[in-house]
A = this chain, B = another copy of it.
Amino acid sequence: MLAPGSTIGILGGGQLARMMALAAAPLGFRVHILAPESDCPAADVSAFHLCADYTNEAALEQFAGGVDAVTYEFENVPLVAARILANRVPIWPDPHALAVSQDRLVEKQFLNRSGLATAPFEPIDHADQIPLALVRLGLPAILKTRRMGYDGKGQVLIRSADEAARAFAAIGQSPAVLEGFVSFQREISVIAARAISGQIACYDPAWNRHDDHILRQSLIPSGCGPEIESDALAKAKKIAEALNYVGVLGIEFFVTADGLLINEIAPRVHNSGHWTIDGCALSQFEQHIRCVAGWPLGPVIRHADAIMDNLIGDDVLNWAELAHDPTARLHLYAKGSPRPGRKMGHVTRLYPIGQRPE
């Protein structure tokens, strides 16, 4: 167990690192950010900020010398950086989990090998593989880059076989995965935490609503009923164990007529778990810091139902109205001026257990 007074390094300086830093402080930890932006949301609430590129080896060495453990706020940390750090200092989750989740193809193969269902898929390296894959998967289908996709970036819907070449061009002719279209009732997610000891705990699943591929709202409880929820929790635990994972992990599921399919896994704290700051004794952010520090997990019990709304782009300009709303727990990320599609903050509203509106 890292003693209070130790320093935790975080790769990345956005809102997830910011909320991790805010959760690390009450445990007595200092936070050291490594991020290339000179001004970033996490640096304002952290003891140290090394402003350098993730592939700057000298900076990585310096960073490793100043921290007692390392974690990350995003899954697209260059693997080489994670591996350089791993030679010097404990790093959680293990870079192996990054390697799996950075590549949609590797991730889906890992999940299927672990006995967990995903949408049907075919690997695509050239546009001319698409028509045959469409025969197997049916129409419509979604072409997604294997790497670096998030919030709908790097993906395109294919409605007919003759769109193949244009679709492959639209994603930059990158190695890709073609996914069969899944008709789902809703998307839910589970925030799982696994300690170095192997202890696992999951927060109650959230029902996630998206707008234009960006998470708009998470509702807790998920409204899926106890059977689907316990199936989701069991699958989340299975994934955390199969990855020998340490830290907090977000798992997105499609709820279909045939059961749960796994959409994707995020080896980090997750937007759909932000409600835990206000709705639980102990948030996903503190839970993650506890794991990174080798501490035992804390309780995941919630004391309320919750609805979390992201503040995207100009939504944040309503801050004064939200400040006057006694039901709104406001969380702003101090990102400066809003841009369309940019997550600027979130708002959580709590309800007595059993009284969440739709």
- A-side residues, CB < 8 A to B, are 1, 3-5, 18, 21-22, 25-31, 43-47, 278, 281-282, 290, 295-296, 298-299, 303-304, 316, 319-320, 323-324, 326, 329-334, 336, 345, 350
Contact B45 A332 (CB under 8 A): no
A345 engages B28 (CB within 8 Å): yes
Knowing that A28-B334, A30-B44 touch, tell me 19 more A-B residue pairs with CB under 8 angstroms: A1-B320, A1-B323, A5-B334, A18-B25, A22-B25, A22-B45, A25-B334, A26-B331, A27-B330, A29-B334, A43-B47, A45-B46, A45-B47, A278-B281, A281-B329, A282-B329, A298-B326, A299-B326, A303-B303
B3 and A319 form a contact (CB under 8 A): yes
A to B CB contacts below 8 Å, 18 in the list: A4-B319, A21-B45, A22-B22, A22-B25, A28-B333, A28-B334, A30-B334, A31-B44, A44-B47, A45-B45, A45-B46, A45-B47, A281-B350, A282-B329, A290-B323, A295-B323, A296-B323, A299-B326
How many subunits of this chain does the assembly comprise? 2
Nearest neighbor of A329 in chain B, beta-carbon distance:
B281
Q: A345 CA to B124 CA in the complex, in Å?
A: 56
Q: How far is the CB of A254 from chain B (nearest CB, A)?
A: 32
Contact (A25, B45) CB under 8 Å given A281-B278, A303-B304, A304-B303:
yes
How far, in whole Å, are A45 and B278 apart by their CA atoms in the complex? 20
Check A27–B296 contact: CB distance below 8 A. no
Contact present for B281 and A332 (CB under 8 Å)? no
Q: Are A316 and B44 in contact (CB under 8 A)?
A: no
Q: Which residues of B contact A323 (CB under 8 A)?
A: 1, 27, 290, 295-296
Report A17 CB to chain B, min CB distance, Å. 12
Q: Nearest chain-B residue to A303 (Cβ)?
A: B303
Task: Give every chain B residue within 8 A of A46 (Cβ-Cβ).
Answer: 44-45
Of chain B, the residue at the smallest CB distance from A44 is B47
